[in-house]
Amino acid sequence: MTLLPFRTPRLPRTRLLPALVAVLSVGGCLEGGAGGKAPTRAVVGTTGISIAGPQGYCIDRKSRRVKPEAQVYMLAGCEALGGTGSPPPGQAALLMAAVSPRPLTGVVLKDPSSAFSRFFRSEAGRGAVSWDGRAGSVRILGMTHQDGMHILHLRHDGPLPYDDIGTESWRGVMVLNGHMVTLQVVPFADKPLSKADGAALLQRFARAVRAAST
């Protein structure tokens, strides 16, 4: 059973922001980006879900990837993407989001906490959250379920997709409007986040997505 349709789009190893700009652009409904400015909100098809970041974050309009299993977005500080407004409070990080276009059914929808716990403890689950798809390349430093979201604190021991990012990340999985939504916080190598700060940023990201989707 595949629970996680959110493998991060793999890009050549390079500097991060140029890589974001180079990602294939797919047209979509992005809001708040008039005049070429970075948008603050993206409507995900007919799912009733919109992607938005915490204060100071915008969506990289060229990062949207549409696949049969998920629509994937990347967010960064608005200033870095040519947007306006105040920079993110605290240490900025790269944010990623993915939404499964098909509604969930069965045990995942009825009891997502148990389903996600079992999956992430499996080899397939660890492989799904590693950068290179190998279970041995990632360690789960912490796993919890809070406020309707399953949260993982990860350390990546394998190759990283960007030179700019650190070895730790936080991922959250939640069910919203019957669809699976996966969120990710990826700190920059020179701006690491503490355990508390990484988890807090992930929760702010989740609250922003929920608020945009109501």
Whether 199 is in a domain gets the answer yes
Whether 97 is in a domain gets the answer yes
Whether 48 is in a domain gets the answer yes
Closest by CA to 176, choosing from 96, 119, 101, 82, is: 101
Residue 120 has pLDDT above 50, yes or no: yes
State the pLDDT confidence band at 90, using cuts at 50, 70 and 90: confident
User: What total of structural domains would you count in the chain?
Assistant: 1
Q: Residue 115 belongs to what domain range? A: 16-30+41-212
Q: Between 172 and 116, whose confidence is greater?
A: 172
Rounded to whole angstroms, the Cα distance separating 184 from 53 reads 11
Whether 154 is in a domain gets the answer yes
Whether 7 is in a domain gets the answer no
Q: Return the H-helix or E-strand segment holding 151.
A: strand 149-156
pLDDT of residue 111: 77
- Yes or no: say if 168 and 192 are a contact pair by the CB < 8 Å rule: yes
Give the mean pLDDT of 113-141.
89
Whether 90 is in a domain gets the answer yes
Which tokens in the block code for residue 133?
């798809």
Whether 62 is in a domain gets the answer yes
Range of weakest confidence among 57-66, 94-103, 146-155, 189-198: 57-66
pLDDT of residue 136: 93
Rounded to whole angstroms, the Cα distance separating 94 from 92 reads 7
Give the mean pLDDT of 117-131.
88
Rounded to whole angstroms, the Cα distance separating 175 from 129 reads 17
Residues facing residue 43 across a β-bridge:
29, 50
pLDDT of residue 125: 87
| 18: three-class secondary structure by DSSP | helix
Q: What is the CATH number of the domain that holds 173?
A: 3.40.1000
Angle at 169 between CA 39 and CA 91, to 5 degrees: 60
pTM greater than 0.85 (yes/no) = no
| 97: three-class secondary structure by DSSP | strand
Whether 11 is in a domain gets the answer no
